[in-house]
Amino acid sequence: MDLQTALFKKKASRVLRFASIGAVLLTGCFSYATPPSGVVATPPPQLVVFLVVDGLPQRQITGYQDQFAPDGFNRFLQRGAAFDNAHYGHGYTVTAAGHAVMLTGAYPARTGIIGNEWRDPVTGKSVYCTEDAAHTYIGHKTVPMAGTSPRNLRAETVGDVLRRVSPASKVIAISAKDRGAILPAGHAGTAYMYMGEKGDFASSTYYMQTHPKWVEDFNATRPADAYFKRIWAPLLQESAYQRSVPDSQPWYRKDGNADRLPAVMGEGSEAPGQRFYNTLIASPFVDELTLNFARAALQGEALGQSATRTDILSISLSSHDYVYHACGPESRISHDHMLHLDRYLQAFFADLDQRIGKDKYLAVLTADHGFSATPEWAKTQGQDTGRLNPSQVLGHVNAGLSAKFGDAKWTLGFSTAGILFDKAVIAAKGVSPAAIDNEARTLLLQLGGVAEVFTREQLASAEATDKPFLTAMRRAWHPDLSASIHVVLKPGWMLGSALMGTTHGSPHAYDTQVPILFYGPRWLGAGHVAARVEVADIASTLSQILRLPAPAQSEGRPLPLPRLSAETLSK
């Protein structure tokens, strides 16, 4: 048996094992015969290119559009379908949770991916979203809690349904972050991740034992080394950045990332090495490298080359998130990164047009979360912002609980948006968990920067509510995995011990509002849609276009597509 046959049989077996999750679906009844309402009666696309820009708020799509190239983001904005009021519906907006929602159509309460990491509610031990000790990276060291499989994902994706119905279809997912590849790949796809150890890409033994030749050939060129000593210079003249905050602000995080432009990649190093490969991620160049690996996948896997099947290529571009964490979305550095990414997308679309055919593939672009402005900058704009130190918050809660219920270490720590209490201590003291929740809520609401605290009783209830953010936090809360109380900070406030950089993770609009952009006039037309929609709606929309049942756990609805026009279809 040759290698490719063995790999196919292994993946087919995995698809069949996973099929029990979607057993409610009528497999074997797939048909292209009747198109769904609102979708043009044409065969499904040969390829779906699913693009994710990690940490991209919608406000930057509209804020920089006048500086975009003609055919990068503007392909979507001027000739595609743009949903201008798109949000995440869950309240803890982080990378893994967002990537799990996109193609499952399910919120964290169903996917089980409640954060990038969380604490086991019984032991307090840290759990990483895509960890699986049964599998290792291929050709690379695998540290504890490394992301190697979708074991923790409790829902199926559009790609999983596609491969169950059409086993010949391929689902490939690529990202600089393991969670950015593994979660969109689902259970039946194949994920490839950028490796900071060597500056190349690798998969894990969950998917295969050895890499295909095209991966080995790509890695043999030492692709990241081409960026050693490359200069990241502003793309436009200085006057073009007047809407952004100048470089080298005191609140920029200094951890090897560039804090001013131009910046030399690998400055201070004599040769490429692990430090260079890791810091390269916080530059436009790993996004370009990721797209180059995607080009190799298109050719190596012959994606989109068959008229009798649909393939999915998911590409999560991670660098944006690293730049924003360090310098903030208001910075010139983040502004320039957007412009570089825009040009990279334009070049990638040109290659897709040539390789696949402009009317044979569907492109989708979204983000896993938005971003908060850096508190120190926001204060200069007169906003009420600040930072809460996690250790101090836990100390305040422990002291208050000890004063009322007896001296003890009541908390195990923060877990996603909540605080985890020690069940053994609660039992030993003879206190009800509900009493601990309620008292902790009272204590937390005493702190400046805390807007609301929800208890297990509120989060577990299905009763209608008019409380702001409760619905969003319910969707982020999993009864088996989450802490018993969830905390919502006031707008502009964030939890963290560092006094530099910024983050995301709130239910506020700056974190929830992200782009949803489609390009594929044959299937969904062109125009801007003002109605509020959610990222969870993408999965059911793609399922309609591909004539598939929606993923079993999906909670989204088909997006309200813009009206098709003869002019659009002729382009």
What are the chain's domains?
Answer: 3-374+510-565 (3.40.720.10), 386-490 (3.30.1360.150)
Over residues 274-302, mean pLDDT: 97
Which DSSP string corresponds to 114-162? -SSEEE-TTT--EEETTB-TT--BTTS---TT-B---TT--S--HHHHH
pLDDT grade for 497, boundaries at 50, 70 and 90: confident
Mean pLDDT over each residue of the chain, to the nearest integer: 91
CA distances from 357 to 220, 248, 349 (A): 29, 44, 10
The pLDDT assigned to 41 comes to: 57
pLDDT at 556 over 80: yes
Give this prediction's pTM: 0.92
Q: Strand ranges (DSSP E) for 179-302?
A: 190-195, 200-202, 231-232, 263-264
Residue with the bigger pLDDT between 75 and 20: it is 75
pLDDT grade for 340, boundaries at 50, 70 and 90: very high
pLDDT at 407 over 50: yes
- Residues 518-536: pLDDT tens digits? 999 899 889 999 999 999 9
Which DSSP string corresponds to 400-419? HHHHHH-SS--EEEEETTEE
Between CA 174 and CA 101 the distance in angstroms is 17
